[in-house]
Structure 1
């Protein structure tokens, strides 16, 4: 009986399975057509992979075969679809379980596919990737709305309000039943303001002058005095240099020095110190060569676009990476949005289409690095002619030297290659244009890791050839010594001419997958009307696209420009921005704690003609800035993060300001401004063995190194340890806000670093010189210089007792001051 029932059932199952297996090719074709051919089909073949036929799957792409019939777990097409290998494919959605089952079963049955997979409308699907409409709701997100002018609110405690800023803050405090901290004392205010505006502590005489000034406008006079000094430009210039990833070297493995990068640094300092309007400040950095092509300072300003990394290998992809750096740094710095997230797809969170990314990229696509001699044209021509003359004389000598060394180098190379595996030797024998991706990688690895140097080649030469080589090298050295000194130059940006290079929409961000030709554009979500990009004027040397973009960027129609900058200024004065994510005003960033205040400040910034000094003064004159930083129980309980600003936040000083403060209080600070960077001492063991990197460090006792830290040569691969440990940015990417780490190496470097110890001894010498031998007076002077206050009775008694120990106790005491929280924090 059971057999009578089971046999028909088995027959039904077998027939169903057979039909299902026969249907696998159709189902597989549908899955591939719907999910894969947009990037791996007739029009686009990312990574060289075509998935339309069984044969093309077997051939594979740059990563090898995509299909191993009969074995799903060895087939890349399955492993990436299932997420076993990364990245998961397709990248924008996950295949359903039944689809993965079809892929696995199809491969397991031998991957039958009798005809090519056809995508019904690939071009239409690809074109759809280039379009993303922006809704009115998306335009109404807080940061994309036009800037308003909210009226300062009415408050109960009118007497506390000194500026409109205070009205907004006091209203929030009253709404949350919080009281502001009392006003800080004048000595505290003096230390706070000098460190904030100059980045240096005030001298005892400067503090006393302010404390003893009884005029009602004494604070305003001090603020004006600080803002009028070149020291202000040095302090606030460093904030901007963080943002634009400034460095004096190119990064990556070789990290070659950039001997003229400092001119951009000096331009920034001078522009800020002179209160250049922020809109002009921005326009010159983006398009100085198009705005004022004959103005050397305008050309230097375009160094903003030159401070990305130097790629060691030039290719279409590295060029795309260079352009990405320009798009990302520009959008982060001036717009405060993460446009870079739209390089490969529409932004996942913000209304930034991928097309916007490539329209902005088109603005910069024709740019070329351009080192501009800062001399008269005739001097530049003479320099070029003389160098060409020496090059012509050196060429036959260099060719002769290479001819002498080549057979010996080839012999060394042959000996080394004989020890390599056969597959590597095969890669080396294969002509470069015919090598697979794997063979190319093998060749690169061999060339990078060869076990002999040029010195070994020379050592293996015969005595006769070595003598001839020595004679040739002496002649070359003599010619090199006759070269003219290098001309002063500006690291600038130019273009090849008025006709822009064509740029394209790239599907998935791949240069292998070009879409439509891109016209220059701006951020669609805030540009209801597309700005014009007019043709360049007659005789132009560039496309003038950057000038048009900069004019839109700084226009009133772009609400992000002013909002982002006033938030940055606020952040550096008050420790945190009104928006705590200063380069992310999008949906994944934080909302403003005081949105009406932010809009009022942005509108006021525009009304003040983008004067940064006007905004500084407005903030410093507020009652909020002049509050004490002391805690109180009610404030901590209700607002532990101080988002409503019921007290002035205490701020840890940056490493540069800690170092500069040591120089200032010890009396060794050299206030010389500008010029090439200096090289303080760095222990060579920290960078020995690095690809030819060098640091021309001077001893701590060398006065040439006693400059402000902004003038230290900034080499990406060799950070100054004292600055590095206190969170100085690495210069790789834009840094809108420094980390505030608290780690043991900070204390260790203040105790053990040779510079800190040297400055402690200089501090002790100054104290002894100015206070005499009396320990009590020494303690009072040390406190006045370092903390801008007198010691209390207990502090003085403890310090005097310590100084009675003799020996180097005064230097030890001065170093202990450097180690104190009071020294490394602004009050």
Structure 2
């Protein structure tokens, strides 16, 4: 339901002006909306906080830090108004118009924008009304997102009072430290137990033991592995990465063309990028005892920055031994070479690490890496060699550690490296092998995983509540003023001044405190009991959310040009019950969902359809296609890939790189995620391709109801897209893993996707499909053919109307 409100208030993560600058802090308002609706914040306070939360917060000195933060963030409603033009400050009058239009439609169900140029032709709103509200928002200072003219954001406001900054930071740090102190040993215990069980499973049954021995460096790396992987990062097809909180990162270009990500990545290559305070490491675990030669090169692939410094070290029982290092230069190439690298002694289980660290500024440090380790002095045959890029590129995301050319094992590890490369850790720890008890086996591992996941959820939630951060919002101008009428909407032709006041149809009261902007009084005018529109408009929106169409079908227009309500008495009754429930939105949900109309079947009745073909009189419940977000989330859920965690900030490019955004090259980003679609980045000028294809909301205008389309490209996407193919393969894996017989697997697939059992006819058709599909595959596919056939069958279930519609 948070998404419904975000549709109405045209939420986006970009500004919408010519270069569509990112607004990285908008997500805090999105999350505030979700929390407010989940907490059933009364609708009158919900509106009050969005219009004037900053003023409420400053007036109440007894507020705690969390309540103060929430009130300030709520004003993102005003701040996310769309920006216009090359210099959006110059066209701020259009941003104020967007604020007024959205407020009028969202709260009153009235289109006020016409009155900017002339008295409204149909509804009782005149030009003086419009500019009385215009003065209120002209007396408000909006956060500035940046524009083509001025490349940097400013007027971002703190989420905590100035006198509480240090206390808030200390309290937050104490909470974080407590959680980290719990998570750190558990994470290490989990990683080691996972390694130990894998080693035990790999051993011959006769050799399996109840204990395993793990080298200390293996434990060290296990805590630092890059643990997040993304395919086709930022919509760059073929660019797959492992990362940890965005940076550091290691990625490969598996495509046949160069990619600009930014920075140039040639085809079939591997690149790395360090973080601000951490390097990126690549470790090779030796399967042999003997001597090896290390070689390779690093190539700067960014047209800015100062490149990286590389280090090669041996990690063994005695500690960390530096072998060689050198610095690279911008646009330079440096060989990984040195006398010490020609013949390096290793024992089985030792590690050789290549660490790349920033030399100064970590920005623009994208670096191509080539690395080869070759066995020396082997007299009885061809020496073995391990080549990083050929070893990992075709199965890059199979796992980290990566097995290399083999099916199992830990040949290559990608990890976050400290700038000292582990020297400090080695000097403060006894480098003794760890003996791990395996009592409890997989059950113990699962219990540990659940405990760790719970703590990590708390840690992520705490991170979202940054103690002394900034937010995207509004405050009052230092000197609020009344606005002058812009004749025919032309800001260069000014007429008489209009005092800030309420609309005439709502009472027309003037401000009691002209020294302020008037937002607080405006919010109280809109939410008082004598305003008949607020409760009617919201009750109608809740009805639309359940039935697909409001009792007033023009949910944003209750004026003369809007449609008449299909059930006027019912709408009045719902509005009355809404007020009696003290504007509890959840109370209206319960009221509607317990009604006979909501619980009615969607079964067709020919006689009723002859009288009311569209079921406006509610004789049936109209079937409804899932929204774009619901389609994507449902597919992720049944495949087992849905990440239920709460979304946070998006990985926008660093602010220093925004100078390149222009009307000819506007910002564009696409950040793949397995979280719910509610948390996808919403862009104004170039919408998210999946959401746009399946009729998601237009973030440029208030969207009261999504108009659904049925076009060939939707079917083509569901049949051919990589996303659907990947999820159907994951779903097939779940189905095959859960049952033994083909019949059981078919029933499991049907129940997981369609929430019912397959009929005998469907089972027979599915068997024929599996046989025909398997026979059509190239024999070279071998053992994969069965999984591919099941994935294709699951894809047919995911693309059925029965899956895509609520019936």
TM-score range normalised by the length of the shorter chain:
0.5 to 0.7
Counting only pairs closer than 5 Å after superposition, residues 661-810 of structure 1 correspond to structure 2 as 661-677=634-650, 691-695=665-669, 697-698=671-672, 705-772=673-740, 774-805=741-772, 806=774, 807=785, 808-810=788-790
Which residue of the partner structure matches residue 559 of structure 1? 532
- The structure 2 residue matched to 1:533, chosen from 487, 493, 511, is 511
Inter-CA distance 316–722: structure 2 relative to 1 (3 Å threshold): closer
Does the Cα contact within 8 Å between 1:317 and 1:511 map onto a contact in 2?
no
Alpha-carbon shift at residue 771 of structure 1 (Å) = 2.2
Change (3 A) 1:644 1:694: closer
**What SS class does the counterpart of residue 472 from structure 2 fall into?**
strand
Q: Once the two structures are superposed, what CA deviation does each residue of 1:36-91 show, in whole Å capped at 9, x if it has no partner?
A: xxxxxxxxxxxxxxxxxxxxxxxxxxxxxxxxxxxxxxxxxxxxxxxxxxxxxxxx
Judged with a 3 Å threshold, the aligned counterparts in structure 2 of structure 1 residues 627 and 351 are, in CA distance, closer, same or farther, namely same
The Cα offsets for residues 447-484 of structure 1, whole Å up to 9 and x where unpaired, read as: xxxxxxx999xxxxxxxxxx9999xxx99958999xxx
* RMSD after superposition: 3.1
Residue 596 of structure 1 and its aligned partner are, at CA, apart by 0.4
Give distance in 2, aligned partners of 1:362 and 1:329: 16
Q: CA deviation at 1:280?
A: 0.3
Partner of 2:7: 242
- For residues 756-792 of structure 1, give each alpha carbon's deviation from its aligned partner in whole angstroms, at most 9, with x where no partner exists: 11001001101111123x2221221112111111122
Asked if 1:311 corresponds to 2:84, the answer is yes
2:484 — aligned with what?
504
Query: In the superposition, relative to structure 1, how do residues 678 and 371 fare at CA in structure 2: closer, same or farther (>3 Å)?
Result: closer
1:492/1:824 Cα in 2 relative to 1: closer, same or farther (>3 Å)? same
Contact 1:678 1:711 in 2 (8 A): no
Match among 371, 377, 402 for residue 156 of structure 2: 371
Note if 1:336 corresponds to 2:309. Answer: no
Paired residue total? 483
More displaced stretch, 248-257 vs 298-307: 248-257
- The answer on whether the counterparts of 1:368 and 1:496 sit within 8 Å (CA) in structure 2 is yes
Which of the pair is proportionally richer in helix? Answer: 1
- Greater strand content: 2
Q: 2:35 aligned to 256, 270, 277, which one? A: 270
Question: How big is the shift at 1:718?
Answer: 3.8
TM-score w.r.t. the length of structure 1 is 0.55
User: Is 1:254 aligned with 2:19?
Assistant: yes
The CA deviation at 1:747 is 0.5
Distance (Å, rounded) in 2 between the aligned partners of 1:489 and 1:689: 28
CA 1:583/1:694 → structure 2, altered by over 3 Å: closer, same or farther? closer
Q: Does 1:631 align with 2:604?
A: yes
3-state SS of 1:272 partner: helix
1:427 aligned residue:
none
Computing the radius of gyration from Cα coordinates, the structure with the larger value is: 1
Cα shift at 1:375 = 5.7
Structure 2, gaps ≥5 residues long: 62-67, 143-154, 167-301, 305-328, 333-357, 366-465, 653-660, 775-784
Q: CA offset at residue 809 of structure 1? A: 1.6
Does the 8 Å CA contact 1:775/1:803 hold for their aligned counterparts?
Answer: no
Could you give the per-residue CA deviations for residues 505-558 of structure 1, whole angstroms, max 9, x where no partner exists? Answer: 222112222222111122322x2x43352117xxxxx71501101101011111
Normalised TM-score (structure 2)? 0.56
1:300 maps to what in 2? 73
Is residue 488 from structure 1 mapped to residue 469 from structure 2 by the alignment?
A: yes
SS at 1:786 equivalent: helix
Rounded Cα–Cα distance in structure 2 between residues aligned with 1:301 and 1:315:
23
- Give the aligned partner of residue 425 of structure 1: none
Q: Tell me, in whole angstroms, the C-alpha distance in 2 between the residues paired with 1:794 and 1:678.
A: 49
- Check conservation: 1:532, 1:548, Cα contact below 8 A: no
CA distance in 2: counterparts of 1:516 and 1:480, whole angstroms: 53
Q: Distance in 1 between matches of 2:508 and 2:700?
A: 33
- Unmatched segments (≥5 aa) in structure 1: 1-235, 382-453, 457-466, 537-541, 680-686, 699-704
Alpha-carbon distance, 1:716 to partner = 2.2
1:702-738 Cα distance to aligned partner (Å, 9 max, x none): xxx2110111111223433222101112311111111
- Is 2:554 the counterpart of 1:581? yes
1:342-372 deviations in Å (ceiling 9; x for gaps) = 1101111112111111112122111112412
Equivalent residues in 2 for 1:373-392 (5 A)? Answer: 373-374=158-159, 377=162
Task: Write the mapping of 1:599-610 to structure 2, written as runs, cut at 5 A.
Answer: 599-610=572-583
- The Cα of 1:752 is off from its aligned counterpart by 1.2
Deviation at 1:377, TM superposition (A): 3.8
- The answer on 1:642 being equivalent to 2:615 is yes
Question: What secondary structure sits across from 2:45 in the alignment?
Answer: helix
**1: CA distance, partners of 2:594 / 2:330:** 75
Q: Supply the distance in 2 between the matched residues of 1:776 and 1:505 (Cα, whole angstroms).
A: 74
In 2, distance between residues paired with 1:475 and 1:308? 41
Other structure's SS at 1:570 match = helix
Contact residue 655 and residue 722 of structure 1 kept, 8 A? yes
Are the structure 2 counterparts of residues 486 and 688 from structure 1 closer, same or farther at C-alpha, using a change threshold of 3 Å? farther
Cα distance change, pair 720–510 in 1 and its aligned pair in 2 (3 A): closer
1: CA distance, partners of 2:684 / 2:595: 39
SS in 2 for 1:804: helix
